Structures are given as structure tokens and as C-alpha cells.
């Protein structure tokens, strides 16, 4: 018998033994419909989410997730890893003040190698802060106990997209995820819009920090209407964009220094500050405006709040947000009936995100489209790591970011403000699939640095064992014939892991 045949026979025997041992334990007992629903509800199956499902049932799990009663507590090693990042243990104001101080020191250095080295060091520090924000988001996605919330955090980060490479944005990313997006992912859409409007990362990315009565910048106003709330075909006009831009004059960021603010006496009572956010009335246009056909009297920051209230109450906003949610979770072309039902709930609930998501997850359309929504790169990488390591804390998240760079979807890496695409076709090219196979092999063979702390020269040995009770009870019964045939050709456990993780069954949800 040839060596490859012997290897395949040995692997078959190993898998048979593993199957017998796994099935001898208490079963996880997931029907095909259960497993398909959980793949939409979570980033991917692991024992924790299946155990939650078994204990609470579908309705109970959904309610706990939507009520945010599962918390955000991460495994202790993962929480400690994130807490060690400068981007998370240093207040954002201190980070920006430090940046400004370093920039001033660099200006004072004469031109030459020393100045170039100082600039490079500052650039590297900013890049490191951005990398830490990327890693933290992926660690939350993998280990967060409320998987539906984690998906919504990723969805909203993409919907209200900011680009790490612009200006100081990388210094502000941790604050953006922690304080603008995460606390509001399941709340009222109006509050989420206001939180992003007051975020330094958004204000710098879309240039509203420079928007003043003497120098009006329309960039954020346009994207706020087109990308964040109403959609491009909602019927608003260029005049609406111009009027909203005037309303947003003075909406910016506090100066990154310790100097006390100096305002004209008549303007001082109108100043609004919230963390790094500042509404500066001396930079605001106090003229009366008309937005979407409604008059808004010049009054300061109240204009901004009235404008956001008006925008999010538009039927077009309910329709636009509902369709994007359905496109992400259900189908590239969600049914008009489902979107209409979600939009109706959006309007009746005052934009309650949890209630809108509940309608979607209780719909027959979600079940009917099972297995047809292609995973974007983040979903692929996160689901693969969740299945392969099943809750075991990794020590180094940098490979995760590296893989997403290879797959052209790094968090906070979209240069344009429209966010990464949600459709299947954008992520299913032959080149994309070849890269996914390489990443599946890196995970499946253990040929990665996930368990080697960053900066360490040690190399963690071993590869994941995917032939577990979770696999045999929740995945194996529902594999396609093509995937079964491919797995049967594997000549080692590592190769078998690679074939499984790269299979169509695990690239769709």
C-alpha cells in the first residue's frame, strides 16, 4: 500500500475514534435550522454560543442579546491583552496632547537625520495605536459573549466608517469604538448618530473639525445624509447639504492643550463640551436655516440636535437603515416585505435598533436564505478562529490583522467613507478564495503566531483539533457531499483542518 494511502487510512481511523468519543459525550443537539440561525446570530459556531442556545432556546438567547444582558466581559487573558494597549489605557485627550507635544518638539529640531528619526518614531507610534484598535476589535468579535452585539458593532463601524490613515484618526480609533459605537450598537439610532457626530475620529475624517462660518466645509454634511442616514436616492437636495453644513459649523474638537478656553462673554453659555467634543459658538453660523423643508432657527447646538431628530424621523432613514441591516444579515437582495416590516418597526419604535433586529431575526426570510450569504473577510477570519480554537485565548492578535490586510478588508482601512461592500460578489473572486485557502492552512496547520506573544522569539507548537463534539453534532451532519468528498482525500489532520475551514460550507452562512 502506498504511503499516502496508509496516511489516509490512518487519518480515517483517527477520525472514526474521535467521532465515537465525541458522540459518547452529551450532545450539543443542533438541528440544521438551529445551526443555520446561529451562524447568522453569531460570527461563527463555538461551544459557548451553542451552550447558550441549548440553555436559553432561540427566543431566550435573542432576548438576552438584544437586551444586552450578556455583558461585554472577555476571558481574563484577552481583557488583560487589550488593557495593556496604550490606545486603551491612555485617555484619548492625553494621547492627542502627547501627539501635539511631540510635533512641536520635532519642529524645533534642525533639519537632518535626528529630525527624520523623530518623525519616523512618531509615525510608528501612531501606527501602533491604530494596530491596537484593530486587534481589540477582532478580539472582541472572537471572544465577546454577546455575539449578536459584536456583529452589530462591526456593522456600525463599517456603516459609520472612518479611515485610520487620515491625519490623527489612528490616535482616536480606540475612543471611537469604545465610546461612540459599542455603547449604542443596540440602542436608539438617533443616539448612535449623535455619538458618531461628537466623535473626534469622525469629525477629523470627514473634515467637520474645520467647518466654520467663515470657511464652510460640506463634506460631513453630505455623507451624513447620503451614507449615514437617508441614502443617496432619498430626495434631499444640494441646498439641504449646504444648510446642514451651516448647522454643523462650530462642531469640532477641543484644543489638545491645557490652556483654559477663551470665549466672548455672549458666547460662553452656548459652549458645549463632551470629552474631546466641542461646540464652539464663535465658529457657528447663527442664521436661520431650512432643512428638508423644515425651518430651523439659528440657536447654536440645539440646531444640530433638531437637525438630527428631523433626519432620523424621515421614512427614508427607516428604509435605508433597515435595508442595509437586512443586506448584511440576510441577503444581497432582501425581500421588500422584510425591509418594509423592519422599517415600520424602526418608525414606530423611534429608531430602536434592537427592535428592528428582532423583527429580522424572527422572520422566515432569515431562515429561507440560510447558506446563501457569503462571508466577508472579517466574518471568515473570525469564524475560523472561533471554530478552530473554541474559546482558547490567543496571545497575539497581529496575525488576524495581517490576514485581513491580505484579504483587503482591514478594520478602519477603507479609504472612502462608504464602508466595505456587503454583497457576495465583492468578496468571492478567485484571488480572494486562494488567499482564504492560505489563511485556512495557516490556522489549520498551526503555522501562525497566534499563541506566540508579540515580540517573543518562542514558537508555539501544535495545531487545532477540529474533530470535536462541536463538529460532529453541529457541523458534520449538514456538510455538503462535495465537502465530504474533499475531507475524505485529506492525508493528515492538518490537511483535513485546512479543507474544512476553506470549504464552501464554512465560507457561507
Q: Tell me: the pLDDT tens digits for 52-62?
A: 999 999 999 99
CA dihedral 189, 190, 196, 199 (to 10 degrees): -140
**pLDDT exceeds 50 at position 1:** no
**What per-residue confidence (pLDDT) applies to 462?**
77
**Is-contact 304 277, C-beta < 8 A?**
no
- Give the end of a domain, one of 323, 350, 368: 368
**What per-residue confidence (pLDDT) applies to 186?**
98
**What per-residue confidence (pLDDT) applies to 290?**
98
**Is-contact 173 193, C-beta < 8 A?**
no
Query: 259 in a domain, yes or no?
Result: no
3-state secondary structure of 191: helix
25: left (phi over 0), alpha (psi -120 to 50) or beta: beta
Query: 243 in a domain, yes or no?
Result: no
**Is-contact 276 253, C-beta < 8 A?**
yes
Query: 235 in a domain, yes or no?
Result: no
Tell me the C-alpha distance between 422 and 434, whole Å.
Answer: 20
CA atoms within 13 A on the CB side of 264: 7
Query: 483 in a domain, yes or no?
Result: yes
Phi, psi at residue 260, to the nearest 5°? Answer: -65, 145
- Tally of domains within the chain: 2
Tell me the C-alpha distance between 347 and 417, whole Å.
Answer: 26
Share of the chain above pLDDT 90, in %: 88
**What per-residue confidence (pLDDT) applies to 260?**
56
Q: Which of 22-26, 209-213, 354-358, 397-401 has the lowest mean pLDDT?
A: 22-26
* Same domain? 364 vs 380: no
Band the pLDDT of 337: cuts 50, 70, 90.
very high
Band the pLDDT of 162: cuts 50, 70, 90.
very high
**Is-contact 382 138, C-beta < 8 A?**
yes
Band the pLDDT of 24: cuts 50, 70, 90.
very low
* Same domain? 410 vs 494: yes
3-state secondary structure of 508: strand
Query: 346 in a domain, yes or no?
Result: yes
* Same domain? 324 vs 440: no
**pLDDT exceeds 60 at position 130:** yes
Tell me the C-alpha distance between 432 and 376, whole Å.
Answer: 10
Band the pLDDT of 259: cuts 50, 70, 90.
low
Mean of the pLDDT values across residues 414-431? 97
Which range of residues forms the domain containing residue 42? 3-69+372-507
Band the pLDDT of 256: cuts 50, 70, 90.
confident
**What per-residue confidence (pLDDT) applies to 263?**
72
pTM for the complete prediction? 0.93
**What per-residue confidence (pLDDT) applies to 2?**
47
**Is-contact 314 190, C-beta < 8 A?**
no
**pLDDT exceeds 90 at position 262:** no
**What per-residue confidence (pLDDT) applies to 5?**
47
* Same domain? 376 vs 503: yes
Helical segments of 25-91, H only: 32-41, 47-66, 76-83, 86-89
Tell me the C-alpha distance between 380 and 47, whole Å.
Answer: 18
* Same domain? 497 vs 385: yes
Query: 201 in a domain, yes or no?
Result: no
Query: 327 in a domain, yes or no?
Result: yes
**pLDDT exceeds 90 at position 352:** yes
**Is-contact 282 293, C-beta < 8 A?**
no
Query: 12 in a domain, yes or no?
Result: yes
- Annotate 378-413 with DSSP letters as a single string: HHHHHHHHHHHHTTPPPS--HHHHHHHHHTT--TT-
Q: What is the β-pairing status of strands 289-291 and 251-253?
A: unpaired
Tell me the C-alpha distance between 197 and 180, whole Å.
Answer: 9
* Same domain? 427 vs 501: yes
Mean of the pLDDT values across residues 386-401? 97
Radius of gyration of the chain (CA): 25
**What per-residue confidence (pLDDT) applies to 29?**
74
Tell me the C-alpha distance between 497 and 477, whole Å.
Answer: 17
Cβ count within 10 A of residue 116: 12
* Same domain? 353 vs 425: no
Tell me the C-alpha distance between 194 and 183, whole Å.
Answer: 12
* Same domain? 445 vs 387: yes
N-to-C CA span, the chain: 40
**What per-residue confidence (pLDDT) applies to 459?**
66
* Same domain? 354 vs 439: no
For residue 54, give Cα distances in angstroms to 23, 59, 63, 284, 509.
17, 11, 14, 55, 20
* Same domain? 359 vs 399: no
Q: Using one digit for the tens of pLDDT, what is the confidence trace for 235-250? A: 999 999 999 999 999 9
* Same domain? 391 vs 503: yes
Sign of CA dihedral 182, 186, 192, 195: negative
- Give the end of a domain, one of 339, 368, 397: 368
**What per-residue confidence (pLDDT) applies to 456?**
77
Query: To the nearest whole number, what is the mean pLDDT of the chain?
Result: 93
* Same domain? 453 vs 327: no
3-state secondary structure of 279: strand
Cβ count within 10 A of residue 367: 14
Instruction: For residue 15, give the H/E element and its range.
Output: helix 3-24
Amino acid at each position: 500500500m502506498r504511503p499516502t494511502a496508509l496516511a489516509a487510512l490512518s487519518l480515517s481511523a483517527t477520525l472514526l475514534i474521535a467521532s465515537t468519543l465525541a458522540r459518547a459525550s452529551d450532545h450539543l443537539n443542533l438541528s440544521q435550522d438551529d445551526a443555520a440561525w446561529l451562524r447568522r446570530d453569531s460570527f461563527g459556531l463555538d461551544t459557548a454560543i451553542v451552550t447558550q442556545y441549548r440553555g436559553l432556546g432561540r427566543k431566550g438567547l435573542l432576548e438576552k442579546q438584544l437586551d444586552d444582558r450578556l455583558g461585554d466581559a472577555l476571558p481574563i487573558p484577552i481583557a488583560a491583552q487589550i488593557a495593556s494597549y496604550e490606545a486603551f489605557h491612555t485617555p484619548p485627550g492625553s494621547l492627542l496632547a502627547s501627539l501635539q507635544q511631540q510635533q512641536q518638539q520635532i519642529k524645533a529640531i534642525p533639519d537632518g537625520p535626528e529630525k527624520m528619526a523623530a518623525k519616523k518614531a512618531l509615525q510608528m507610534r501612531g501606527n501602533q495605536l491604530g494596530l491596537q484598535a484593530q486587534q481589540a476589535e477582532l478580539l472582541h468579535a472572537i471572544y465577546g459573549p454577546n455575539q449578536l452585539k459584536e456583529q452589530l458593532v462591526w456593522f456600525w463601524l463599517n456603516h459609520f466608517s472612518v479611515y485610520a490613515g487620515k491625519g490623527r484618526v489612528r490616535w482616536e480609533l480606540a475612543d471611537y469604538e469604545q465610546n461612540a459605537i459599542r455603547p449604542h450598537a443596540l440602542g436608539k439610532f438617533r443616539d448612535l448618530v449623535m455619538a458618531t457626530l461628537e466623535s473626534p475620529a469622525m469629525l477629523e475624517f470627514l473634515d467637520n473639525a474645520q467647518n466654520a462660518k467663515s470657511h464652510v466645509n460640506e463634506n460631513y454634511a453630505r455623507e451624513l445624509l447620503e451614507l449615514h442616514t437617508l441614502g443617496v436616492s432619498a430626495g434631499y437636495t444640494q441646498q439641504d447639504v449646504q444648510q446642514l453644513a451651516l448647522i454643523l459649523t462650530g462642531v469640532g474638537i477641543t484644543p489638545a492643550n491645557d490652556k483654559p478656553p477663551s470665549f466672548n462673554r455672549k458666547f460662553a453659555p452656548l459652549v458645549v463640551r463632551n470629552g474631546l467634543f466641542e461646540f464652539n459658538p464663535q465658529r457657528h453660523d447663527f442664521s436661520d436655516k431650512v432643512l428638508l423643508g423644515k425651518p430651523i432657527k439659528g440657536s447654536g447646538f440645539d440646531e444640530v440636535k433638531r437637525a438630527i431628530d428631523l433626519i432620523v424621523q424621515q421614512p427614508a432613514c427607516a428604509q435605508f437603515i433597515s435595508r442595509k441591516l437586512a443586506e448584511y444579515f440576510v441577503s444581497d437582495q432582501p425581500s421588500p416585505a422584510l425591509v418594509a416590516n423592519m422599517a415600520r418597526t424602526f418608525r414606530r419604535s423611534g429608531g430602536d435598533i434592537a427592535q428592528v433586529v428582532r423583527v429580522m431575526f424572527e422572520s422566515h426570510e432569515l431562515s429561507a436564505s440560510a447558506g446563501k450569504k457569503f462571508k466577508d473577510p472579517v466574518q471568515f477570519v473570525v469564524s475560523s478562529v472561533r471554530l478552530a480554537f473554541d474559546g482558547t485565548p490567543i496571545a497575539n492578535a497581529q496575525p488576524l490583522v495581517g490576514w485581513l490586510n491580505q484579504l483587503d478588508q482591514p478594520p478602519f482601512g477603507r479609504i472612502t467613507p462608504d464602508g466595505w461592500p456587503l454583497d457576495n460578489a465583492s468578496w468571492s473572486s478567485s484571488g480572494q478564495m486562494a488567499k482564504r485557502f492560505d489563511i485556512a492552512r495557516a490556522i489549520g496547520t498551526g503555522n501562525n503566531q497566534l499563541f506566540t506573544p508579540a515580540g517573543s522569539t518562542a514558537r508555539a507548537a501544535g495545531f487545532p483539533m477540529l474533530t470535536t463534539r462541536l463538529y460532529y453534532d453541529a457541523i458534520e451532519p449538514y456538510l455538503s457531499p462535495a465537502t465530504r468528498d474533499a475531507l475524505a482525500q485529506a492525508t493528515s489532520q492538518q490537511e483535513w483542518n485546512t479543507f474544512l475551514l476553506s470549504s464552501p460550507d464554512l465560507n457561507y452562512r
